[in-house]
Structure 1
Amino acid sequence: MLMQHVEPTTGEVSAAQADVRPYAWVVFALTVGLLLSDYMSRQVLNAVFPLLKAAWSLSDTQLGSLSSVVALMVGLLTFPLSVLADRWGRVKSIVLMAAMWSLATLGCAIATRYGEMLLARAFVGIGEAAYGSVGIAVVLSIFPVRLRATLTGTFMAGGAFGSVLGMALGGAVAAQMGWRPAFGAMAAVGIVLVVIYWFVVTEKRLAPLQVASMGNQGLGVRMSFRALMKGLFSTKSVVCAYVGSGVHLLVPAALWAWMPSFLNRYYGMETGKAAMGAAVFVLVTGLGMVVCGNLADRLGKHSRERKWGTAIAICLASFTLLAIGIHLPAGPLQLMLIGAGMFCSAGASGPSGAMVANLTPPSIHSSAFATLTLANNLLGLAPAAILTGIVADRIGLLGALQLVPFASLIAAVAFFIGKRNYAVDLDRLDALRDRAGR
């Protein structure tokens, strides 16, 4: 019988959960630092597109493939590599993955032709494939349950901040020294962080924190593939968390991709200024993920269902603000409403991640977050830009962006269904845990 980890009911927060050791925050900072490196290595390519195109006479299709191959590798390998990490060891897996994407980014810096660059970018994707799921699993294993939405939201926001850093720093280095040093700089950041992580974070030092945080809930339990699937999809509410999280991320992904074009076409901004303006919206989104995650933890401190209610409210706020804002004429008021909507647009990431952790066994949290990552990519991040582009070709970019906020409405419905089933699912999992412990 699987030992399920569920969220404590009111008044069940233990003394161990009330105190977070300083070493846990050190591990959190280093793990987020590697996530920043992950996205810096991924996004630096976008900053040097014009230079690569001129240097190797590449077509736009070839340029696009250098970006898409990373997402392809992540989508294909996230789940299997996360399952292996749960079995082989999360810390060892993190070090290996980060070393791979850093060395592959260095390979991009010394590539001499398109084929070599494409292969190096593929290895960047292989290295990054399971990092998000394994990294957040390590973090959640050493912190109390009451902080899960805050930590998940902050961790996922690292992707937004890393993207901005990759584009901004990569562009600055490329402008002064060329595109090769831009890749080299991103690789150097990753290599330094890998070395620090290797010496500072060990399974042995994590073990006491994991025991204090999770009690006797069975880290490191091995199970069959059938048992794994049962643990990952054991309840309606966890499936709703996967779906709601994935669908709601379609909104920020679409707006991140098309905001530079929107500012260029409808505000007359030149390309560089439009890109910087778009970066501000990306930062606003990342800040919103942190704030909304913390808000969900505070509101859900004494009620099991309030995290779901917070996720629903965030999605409805995003839909309302963006739907109104994008329909307004160009001007400061429109930009303010769009900014407010983007602040909320990815805010349900923290609550949904916390729900996935609450409804799955700690021993398979890497696999659970890999499933969440898969849902986020397949339902939101991957199709967002291309679907918006297809619609834009038919009704214009403004018309396409006016449809994007409806994804938040669909996500709110998924979270509402999950909320209705959550109490029953937790009670059933509590009963299973009690029987397993006898």
Structure 2
Amino acid sequence: MAETNWAGSHTYRSPIERVRSVEHLQELVAAAPRVRALGSRHSFTDLTDITDADGAVLVSLVDLPTAVVVDPTSRTARVTGHAAYGQVATQLQAAGWALGNLASLPHISVAGAVATGTHGSGVENGSLATAVASLDLVGADGELRTVSRGDPDFEGSVVALGALGVVTSVTLDVEPTYDVRQDVFTGLSWDALASGLEAVTSSAYSVSLFTRWGDSGIDQVWLKSRGDRAPAAPSGAVAAASTMHMLDGADIDAVTAQGGVPGPWLDRLPHFRMGFTPSRGAELQSEYLLPRELAPTAVERLRGLRDRMAPVLQVGELRTVAADGHWLSGSHGHDVLAVHFTWVRDVERVYAVLPAIEAALLPLGARPHWGKCFAAGVEELEPLYPRMADFRALRRRVDPDGVFGNAFLDRVIG
């Protein structure tokens, strides 16, 4: 039976080998002409697939045991790379520790999320990659090596799209556990957003704004605040009367607790609960991250495209991410606004809309999320990443034969 990604939008074309140990992984990598690693399969494209090499193999580490080992002195935790954030968070919470932020889905693997520049939200919160202190990975020669914060190659090796090796373990910064409350408001107008975007996005530890880009403005504002202090309502918005899902008609049991009741960080920072299908599952997603100071221009341009987007759009989301130094990060060198799109699962119709969105956003410096749907190729992307040439040089040095290459990397990195 053919195996697919989580959304069912991509069927993998190379055989999948479930490795039994790190040593088994090393043997596979050393012997195969092409290797790519599968994580939790939450990418929407051929990012992790190989379609053009005899003897190529996709490796899955899901059979390896999940381990979370905390070092209280360094305030770090070494975790298994294939583990889902929800699994890691549960073990950290039990030991009295926490991560500084989480993405909207706790189902995604640590290694895969970090490698693609995945993020949560918050004006002072960096992407998930900024919590990485070191990586253990199997290189093209089958040898296991470690890259740590402060090493010359570190900032090119974290958000690396799987191009430098197969990550087996990630060491993450941790802190003592804390509580978060989640409050939801409705009815934030475009005018109120335009005059108070910075105030709204700074009003809680993590903020998400959901919209369908119509005249109604921002349909839902999700404010996640550390501690138990209630946030101020955004101008003109009103508190939701009951639990809300950002998708019309979706099961509210799938979303994390709302209503301002404080609870552990891992049960509030994600949008979705670990035991449920995140979002709707059968969907496509796109996201673009652009310099935050250009957010008003981006919003106006996207509002002008609402009629083009409406037939295939389920919901849009606006979040903020703090700048970092990772070479291929969407927030490299800039505090950014992340503009997310949840589409219906119709590849042809969605990709027909993407060029118009990219014509509006890429001139503003917007960078696409590597794990989601986008149309731009290396010619359009290279000017957006000042360290792209440095990344290519690093890749040639650590993987001169292109063992970890594939068609996706050829299109977007060159």
Instruction: Please state which band the TM-score falls in when normalised by the shorter chain.
Output: under 0.3
Pick the structure with more helix per residue: 1
TM-score by length of 2: 0.25
**Is the radius of gyration larger for structure 1 or structure 2?**
1
Structure showing the higher strand proportion among its residues: 2
